[in-house]
Each structure stands twice: as C-alpha cells, then as structure tokens.
Amino acid sequence: MTRAQFSAETSGGGAFVRQPNRFTGRVTPHSTSPAGGGPDDQGRWPLEAGRYRLIWCRACPWAHRARIVRGLLGLDEVISLGTVDPIRDERGWRFTLDPDGFDPALGIGFLSEAYLATDPDYTGRVTVPALVDTLTGRVVTNDYPQLTLDLSTEWRRLHAPDAPDLYPVALRPELDALMAEIHADVNNGVYRCGFATSQQAYDEAYTALFDRLDVLSRRLAGRRYLMGDAITEADVRFFTTLVRFDVAYHGHFKCNRQKLTEMPVLWAYARDLFQTPGFGETVDFDQIKRHYYATHREINPTGVVPAGPDTSGWRTPHGRA
Ligand SMILES: N[C@@H](CCC(=O)N[C@@H](CS)C(=O)NCC(=O)O)C(=O)O
C-alpha cells in the first residue's frame, strides 16, 4: 500500500486534498470590541498596532506571501514577526531559531501550544502562517488567503503612506479569478504533483501545472506584472511558488518539464520581483531546501538535501520594464 505524506488529506484516487483552515478570525477596524478586547460576536478582532504577531517559516510559500505583503505595505513595525525552524520534529513547528528556544513575545516553544490554547481539541496539522494575539496567546487566523487580503484592506489605516494597493477594487473580479487559477494549478498544483500517490493524480496535476505556466508566460510576455504595470497580490502569490521551483519543486515534487531557468519569460519575471525591495531579501534558499527535502520523509526517505542548484542567477539583470 502506498504511503501518503499526509494520509488524512489524500483521496481514494491518490490525489492531495488540502485540509481547510481552522481559525478564521479577522482583524478589522469594524470590530465592535474595545482595544485590548477579544473578538466580537462576529469573530472580528480590534485593529491595533503592536498587538498581533505573524508566525512564519522562511521555507513555507503560504507564510512567505504574508511576510512579503506585510513588508510591502509598511506593516513591519505594526505586526511583529516570529520565525519557526524550517525543520519540524514530532511536535511540529518549533522556535529553535530563537536563542533559548522560545518565541520572545509569546513565550512558547512550539506553535502547537498556541493552537491548543485556542482549541484544546484541535487535531489537524499545525500550520504557518498563523496570526497570533500576543495578549492572550490565541490564534486569530491561519486562513492564509484571507490574511493577506485583510492586510491590504482591513489594515489600511496602519499602512505606510506610500504603500502600494495590492488589491485594487476595480481589478478584483479579474484578480480573484486569476488568483484562483494560480492557486489551483500552481501554488497548490506543485503540492498536488508532489503528494500524489497514484500515477493518474500526478499526471493530472503535472499537466494542469505546466499548462497554466504556459498561459501565464504568454500573459507576462506582454506586460511587466500579472495585472499590468503595478504589482498586485497575484504577483506575490505567483512569486512564492516560482522562487521555490528549481530548488524544491522541480526535483522533490517531480515538477520537471522544465526548470524555471528554462522558461525565459517566467524566469525574467521572477528575477524582476526578486530584485524588487521586499521580495529577494525575504528568500532563504537553504531553509527552503532543508524544509522540503528533510521533512517530507514519505517522498524523500533518506532526508538527504541536494547541494544544488546554483542560485546566483537570481541577481542577474532581468531586462524587463
Ligand atoms: N493552512 C494551510 C496551508 C499552510 C501550510 O500548509 N503550511 C505548511 C508549511 S508550507 C505547514 O505549516 N505544514 C505543517 C504540516 O505539514 O504539519 C493548510 O493547512 O494546508
């Protein structure tokens, strides 16, 4: 019998079906709770600078997008950052990068402590990103797609004066549809390739992935960013998968029709973003490789981490304008 990386999230046909997000609180200026209060009766937490903490892992694409959006919007001083080790042990994400092994703001050694403090019966995977309330230690949300959209919209009052509009109202219908396609075929598509336990499930995911990359490559041949002249949330979401493509997905997840470096438009587009303030400095290729190759033991039982590829090309001129 084939063993799945996450058996509770694998269908009878061998396809990877991602678990739903358990915590879906929202931080919003529309909360009726006072400052320092908990969520109101609609699950809305009060908007406050310095209160909430974003827990991320440098290796994780879903957490990485929150880290980038936070930076682009100038929320670095407003939402603090806790970073977990890319290697989990049997107790999950741990704060072993902090000097004494505890997150200094939350006082916990494992992210699971915050999940269980919020829901003692929680049995799903403990995931990053998570936005945690530093006053109570409770998880506000691990709903990664809503989290970044909320940073753009609900947190606007606390943005830097020159913050970009990553989710412009006029573009939302097209942007939402585009992001749904990118999620299904690319962001989650690489996981559907890597975690498939049947040939058919893998073949379907692989075909959808590269068909979508071909469509996006044609789109980006005629425009600098996915929605035109300005960076939007869609670019952030696409970037976090592209930047992991050659170091992790091409080999580890068998997404190997081409490497990113062999897809000229997408490679130049990804380099353009990488060299934009707020993107490249958040990327840690070493942690990305160690996380994927060393923790998914069902698909890489030895845990050996490859030495390559050479990533020096990311800083070479991209030629896009
Ligand atoms: N919250 C989502 C996406 C976030 C996610 O999968 N994050 C990964 C890291 S890239 C994680 O935290 N995994 C924990 C685990 O696999 O136990 C989910 O539950 O699938």
Confirm if 242 and 260 have CB atoms less than 8 A apart: yes
The per-residue DSSP string of 202-265 comes to: HHHHHHHHHHHHHHHHHHHHS-SBTTBSS--HHHHHHHHHHHHIIIIIHHHT---SS-GGGSHH
pLDDT tens-place string over residues 66-83: 999 999 999 999 999 999
Confirm if 52 and 27 have CB atoms less than 8 A apart: yes
pTM score, two decimals?
Answer: 0.95
With 50 as the cut, is the pLDDT of residue 60 above it? yes
Q: How confident is the model at residue 16 (pLDDT cuts 50, 70, 90)?
A: confident
pLDDT tens-place string over residues 123-156: 999 999 999 999 999 999 999 999 999 999 999 9
Burial of 128 (0-12, 13-18, 19+ CB in 10 A): buried
Homologous superfamily (CATH) of 19-158 is Glutaredoxin (3.40.30.10)
Probe residue for ligand 1, chosen from 55, 125, 143, 240 as the CB with the greatest number of ligand atoms within 8 Å:
125
Domain boundaries, the chain: 19-158, 169-283
* CATH architecture classification, 169-283: Up-down Bundle (1.20)
β-strand partners of 199: none
**Pure H helices in the chain:** 61-72, 111-118, 144-153, 172-182, 189-195, 199-221, 233-244, 250-252, 264-274, 285-295
Probe residue for ligand 1, chosen from 57, 127, 240 as the CB with the greatest number of ligand atoms within 8 Å:
127
* Gap from CA of 299 to ligand 1 centroid (Å): 16
Is there a shared CATH topology between the 19-158 domain and the 169-283 domain? no
| Interatomic CA distance for residues 88 and 236, integer angstroms | 25
* Gap from CA of 131 to ligand 1 centroid (Å): 14
With 50 as the cut, is the pLDDT of residue 1 above it? no
* Gap from CA of 220 to ligand 1 centroid (Å): 29
Query: Coil, strand, or helix at residue 55?
Result: strand
Q: Nearest 5°: phi and psi at 28? A: -155, 145
pLDDT tens-place string over residues 202-228: 999 999 999 999 999 999 999 999 999
The DSSP code for 185 is I
Q: What is the dihedral of CA 287, 256, 207, 237, to 10 degrees?
A: 30
